[in-house]
Amino acid sequence: MKKIGLAEGGGGSATNKFIKELFISRLGNDASEKMPDAAHVETDGRTAFTTDGFVVRPEFFPGGNIGKLAVCGTVNDLAVSGAKAEYLSLGVIIPEGYEAERLEKIVDAIAETAKRAGVKIVCGDTKVVEKGAVDGLFINTAGIGRVVNDWTVFENIKDGDAVILTSDMARHGMSVLLARGELGFEGNIESDCAPLNKMLEALHEYDVHFCRDATRGGVAAVLNEIADGAKKGFLIHEADLPLRQDVGNLCEILGFDPLSVANEGLAVILVSASDASHVIEKLKNFEEGRNACVVGFVNGAGRVILETAVGGRRVVDMPAGELLPRIC
């Protein structure tokens, strides 16, 4: 089986051949071209710009791999900010001796996900480091896109705004945890990893006040960041929280609060109460939004309050530390 050597990262002829054969031919803007150091693209007016690094272990998990994740993460960061994702960069750090076939699968996933999301990968960089210097592949993607609305402004959030989750919670975190095979039992939870951009672009006609995807730290982290930044509170109804039973059971067994577990295909949307049902209806037209629902409301200043199924109330705090390392 072909393995990747240091020469592939040296900047000489072996690097050019490697990049052409393994990356350009798959990412295929124009397979006859070298990928340029700097791509020149058209933009107009306000542009969103974001970056994300991916260190997930294992690199392959049910529902995705580090390559698919690297596209979804950056596309979603652009989309939740209110922009139309357009162009991505791709930076890859590869350990010497990495199997070429494995890398090909990951680059195929990058190409396929970029196609699904309708974005182009226009520039890239690869580095090969000596065996032992890193425990697998690291990927960075940055992305740019055209701003349609600004969904990142805390001041736009109003009391009474509906809180929508676009999907059921905690699938990504639990999928990766199961894939590590350290639990002593197996399960079949697929990550929710998906590009949300086309679905979110369909919401620009509605009165969306704020949007963010609930990755590391889960829904709890997003709601607390908003509460902190906007000086607002939330009342969330536990009974309305979308959660698959097997995912919920696994969280309970392992002592995780599903509100704090990472997602890679779930956005939190704050929308004026009058538009909430229209937004839900629109979201349900998309595969990624079929479980979308209103889970609560913006409620004065202060904390994130969860009203439990039996009518009690508890504060949902910001997750404090590292719940699940290497989740993305």
Minimum distance from CB of 161 to a copy of itself (Å)? 20
CA dist 85 and 278 (Å) reads: 23
Per CB under 8 A, 156 contacts a copy of itself: no
Among 45, 184, 255, 311, indicate the residue that binds a copy of itself (CB under 8 A).
45
Query: For strand 83-95 and strand 120-129, is the pairing parallel, antiparallel, or unpaired?
Result: parallel
Stretch binding a copy of itself (CB under 8 A), from 91-99, 161-169, 281-289, 293-301: 91-99
Question: With respect to a copy of itself, which residue has the nearer C-beta, 311 or 325?
Answer: 325
Q: Which stretch binds a copy of itself (CB under 8 A): 20-28, 136-144, 195-203, 297-305?
A: 136-144
Q: Which stretch binds a copy of itself (CB under 8 A): 51-59, 232-240, 243-251, 287-295?
A: 51-59
Our measurement of the distance from residue 134's CA atom to the centroid of its chain's CA atoms, rounded to an integer in Å, reads: 23
Among 64, 69, 71, 81, binds a copy of itself (CB under 8 A): 81
- Report if residue 326 touches a copy of itself, rule: CB under 8 A: yes
Query: How far is residue 124's CA from residue 158's CA, in Å, rounded to a whole number?
Result: 41
HSE-CB of 90 using CA atoms within 13 angstroms: 30
Nearer to a copy of itself, 124 or 258 (CB): 124
Comparison of 239 and 254: residue with beta carbon closer to a copy of itself: 254
Count interface residues toward a copy of itself (CB under 8 A). Answer: 83
With binding defined as CB under 8 A, does residue 126 bind a copy of itself? yes
Q: How far apart are CA 168 and CA 271, in angstroms?
A: 18
Query: What is the pairing mode between strands 234-237 and 293-298?
Result: antiparallel
Q: Residue 17: which residues within 8 A CB-CB, separation 6 or more? A: none
Residue 310 Cβ, how far from a copy of itself at the closest point, in Å? 27
Say whether 235 sits in a helix, a strand or coil.
strand
CA distances (Å), origin 135, targets 56, 57, 148, 315:
11, 9, 40, 39
Residues 231 to 290 in contact with a copy of itself, rule: CB under 8 A = 260, 262
Nearer to a copy of itself, 42 or 186 (CB): 42
Q: What is the bridge-based pairing of β-strands 267-271 and 304-307?
A: unpaired
Under 8 Å between Cβ of 89 and 143: yes
Q: Which of residues 166-205 bind a copy of itself (CB under 8 A)?
A: none
| Closest distance of CB 63 from a copy of itself, Å | 20
Q: Indicate whether 9 belongs to the interface with a copy of itself (CB under 8 A).
A: yes
Asked if 157 interacts with a copy of itself (CB under 8 A), we say no
Determine the Cα angle at 53 with ends 211 and 29, to 5°. 90
